[in-house]
Chains A and B, each alone.
Chain A
């Protein structure tokens, strides 16, 4: 059976379930689904060993559309469901699909703990800065002042930034991509899957029904070269249509500089995704369009650290090695016993 599976070369369509996809026409989720189906066959993991777990929200319908094992769980809890699953079955490839409301609001606690435990799971957060499924309330990533059904006078809570949270929890793999930037998204998903440990990917996703255009600045052909910056390991931070601008560190703060006029590439900040210190990645996660910075996309951080799923099973092996495989009879008879004739 397993040989047969290994020999089968799977195609993206093999990963499609028989269910009709029910997102609104034009939703950014379609593109993410398509890239996922393209990436999975390249990973060499059979479908039956792949599990998608989600919470509640538009993005969380994702597992229904994949011909793998899947759980569409409850609001915010997907990382916890994935934790139980991965602990007892570390052989499975586990994906968590979540959104800005699901992952950062109701499920913030689970997200934080799944990341800090560094279980070998892949978390993809579709960030559309709105509650879509409940029809248009502001979300934890909605910008200040955003007018929605529940904020007719504008949002007054300071938004959360998913990658800052993940890096704050010392995530070992952190990346960002954009729903319509399909090649880049595919690359990022593949790297997330290959990373041993918790991978956290934020995808800028357009909700064309309730928050259309939220990411236009980062997607628009005319502006995206100036508003985003593609990170490359070991390379200086350069962006702009003519690659004429860069990011330089001024003390502890990044600043945008024009190349030339005495400033060379060597003056720029060089990206090091493998830096053990998360501060650089955190600094990158704080570069915001509204503050005049290009927003980095790509892999912010990719480091190795002990994994919870390995450690929890390692303790079992260690216990068996030290004390022998548990013997029920010995367990029951432990401590003082006496016999009644």
Chain B
């Protein structure tokens, strides 16, 4: 007998935000990733925010062990993972208590009822059971016996109870897939690929996924489905990409297009390690990954590879960058091209390893002894890491200098659709190495071209043998020199060389009116929140423009004029005002800060409020 499933209404939505949260062993990152990919494949614009604990396995059921993954998907362009959550999946009481405040009133709340036992409630600090005390009444709550239903679904596949419970995230996924009318196909493909070698596990996960979906379809309490239409993104072929992956791809592309081997010297550190992992899996691109004994060896091996004439990169985060400071000084002194990638996290010291912050701008600008200028550029979002990596390498080789590329934990782990570029559209970095000197003249390793870049003579080239090092160089010859005036000349030369990069990069652009009441200046991973907030206020007719900086050292040549074209300047940063200090010092322009250091990105709402506040007092 066929069951008759009543057709449930489908409500169209512009966009929606879903957060999966549970114990770090509950597979919430996987659930989030699958939902993201499915939404992206359905044509939505997506933005994600994975949020995981610093401890790998904090005690089960505790607040310290809660792991979350937020997905914002939309039928129009979006730049942030969303301020508030429309649907929250909480796998246990600890996940509920730590995430509930972000769920909007009336939002959908899906709960694994089976986890709300005495122990679970105690661990989360609940005195009464929130499922029973009425405190969740203003949400559209579905308390599902997920553990029980899931065990029933996978019965007969020969799994242990522990293995059966590991499928529970697929049940939760299935339910959310139904809620947003999503196809199961991409996840079924994923299951087949990932668990192909263990058919019983593949079948069990499939059964869980379907059981979750069917639960939504059949249970009367789930009475509405939602649908988010495809977004009108620029035409092209897309894939979803995480920041660290995009960065690794950018490095691989830059090496290939400049005819170089790629060497990465790195030491494991959160949240930069995924760059090492990603590159290590692409050795067939002539990528050498060296997991060094420490951060110092990571950068000094990078210097060795740069001297050898290849594309050399090191990647780390704040504490590791601190250890690399002396090495960066040597890189500046030897004027060798290389990239130093800093994926910022909460500091100081070990700080908040898994949380985001942008408080290492000063470290990048100044964190070395002596007058030690290094160009600094910052990526603004996950997909942008691809372009930023290539641009950093272009600058490094054109100017013979190390370049610092800043990203942060938020964009490194976050993901968004990436329009896959045509190879022909990628910029090739032409590199020339000297091949000899004329008529047996001595080789002059510190003779400079019009950009003040010195020649990159590579070992193995006859006649160009030369020695470089950390001691001050005599101009032109590169010989050791302690001459006072030569030192001053060299300090100025190194500074001027970096300053000249401003002539080689596009002028700064502004999104919005060329002058007006307020300019919002941002850099790095806060781009999405700032752009969205400014657009919102602009749509209401507010006189506000947005200027997002990619180039932080040197600053764009026209930035001073831009800053002076507005009545007020607002600089929102996830630090105590580092760019603001830099802008005030450089341009003598008053800038107001909006600063937050909670290990979390900005919400659009708080920026809109700040902008509105500043516009109203003008």
Contacts and interface: CB of A to CB of B under 8 A. Distances in A.
Interface in B261-280: 261, 263, 265
A1 B308 CA distance: 20
A328 B250 CA distance: 10
Interface in A292-341: 312-313, 315-316, 318-320, 322-326, 328-329, 331-341
A44 interface: no
Contact of A84 (B240, B296, B303, B329): B303
Contact of B468 (A71, A332, A339): A71
Contact of B461 (A48, A72, A334): A48
B156 interface: no
Given A74-B327, A88-B263, A336 B239 contact: yes
B127 interface: no
B467 A336 contact: no
B421 interface: yes
B463 to A, nearest CB: 7
Contacts of A63: 467, 469
Contacts of A68: 465
B541 interface: no
Contact of A328 (B302, B423, B459, B468): B423
B292 A338 contact: no
Contacts of B237: 333, 337-340
A53 interface: yes
A96 to B, nearest CB: 11
Given A80-B296, A85-B308, A89-B309, A333 B459 contact: no
A48 B304 contact: no
Contacts of B302: 84
Interface in B104-142: none
Interface in B216-241: 230, 232-240
Contact of B460 (A49, A109, A112): A49
A68 B442 CA distance: 13
B423 A80 contact: no
Say which size band chain B's interface belongs to: 35 or more
B215 interface: no
B462 interface: yes
A40 to B, nearest CB: 12
A19 B423 contact: no
Interface in A42-76: 46-49, 51-53, 56, 63-64, 66-74
A85 B265 CA distance: 11
Contacts of B240: 335-336
Contact of A49 (B309, B421, B459, B470): B459
A19 B479 contact: yes
B290 A51 contact: no
Interface in B479-528: 479-480
Contact of A337 (B238, B283, B470, B480): B238
Contact of A71 (B296, B304, B326, B329): B304
A333 B420 contact: yes
A85 B305 contact: yes
B171 to A, nearest CB: 22
A4 to B, nearest CB: 8
A113 interface: yes
Contacts of A17: 467
Interface residues of A, number: 66
A147 to B, nearest CB: 31
Interface string A221-239: 0000000000000000000
Most chain B CB within a 10 A radius of its CB, from A56, A70, A320, A336: A336
A80 B252 contact: no
Interface in A4-39: 5, 17-19
A135 to B, nearest CB: 17
A159 B191 CA distance: 59
B305 A87 contact: yes
B57 interface: no
A287 interface: no
B532 interface: no
A248 interface: no
Contact of A312 (B284, B290, B294, B470): B290
A81 interface: yes
Q: Which of B327, B423, B465 has the most CB of A within 10 A?
A: B465
A83 interface: yes
A81 B230 CA distance: 51
Contacts of B288: 87-88, 312-313, 316
A341 B252 contact: no
Interface string B399-438: 0000000000000000000001101000000000000000
Interface string B313-336: 000000000000011011000100
A87, A112, A322, A335, most chain B CB atoms within 10 A:
A87
A92 interface: yes
A325 B284 contact: yes
B366 to A, nearest CB: 19
Given A17-B467, A88-B261, A316-B283, A71 B307 contact: yes
A73 B421 CA distance: 40
Contacts of A315: 283
A328 B305 contact: no
A83 B470 CA distance: 18
Interface string A127-141: 000000000000000
A87 B297 contact: no
Given A84-B302, A87-B263, A325-B284, A335 B235 contact: no
A91 interface: yes
Contact of A80 (B234, B236, B297, B469): B297
B283 A70 contact: no
B55 interface: no
Interface stretch (B20-28, B35-43, B370-378): B35-43
Contact of B238 (A91, A323, A331, A339): A339
A319 B286 CA distance: 9
Contacts of A47: 462, 465
Given A67-B465, A88-B288, A72 B470 contact: yes
B43 to A, nearest CB: 6
A326 B297 contact: no
A64 B37 CA distance: 56
Nearest to A22: B480
Contacts of B235: 340-341
B283 A328 contact: no
Contact of B421 (A81, A84, A110, A332): A332
A82 interface: yes
Interface string B11-37: 000000000000000000000000001
A326 B285 contact: yes
A271 interface: no
16 contacts: A52-B467, A56-B470, A71-B469, A84-B308, A85-B305, A88-B263, A89-B308, A89-B460, A312-B290, A320-B284, A323-B284, A328-B253, A331-B249, A337-B420, A340-B230, A340-B235
Interface of B: 37, 40-41, 43, 186, 230, 232-240, 249, 252-253, 256, 261, 263, 265, 282-288, 290, 292-294, 296-297, 300-310, 312, 326-327, 329-330, 334, 420-421, 423, 442, 459-471, 479-480
Given A18-B442, A336-B239, 10 more contacts: A19-B480, A72-B471, A80-B292, A81-B301, A85-B308, A87-B301, A92-B308, A113-B292, A337-B239, A340-B232
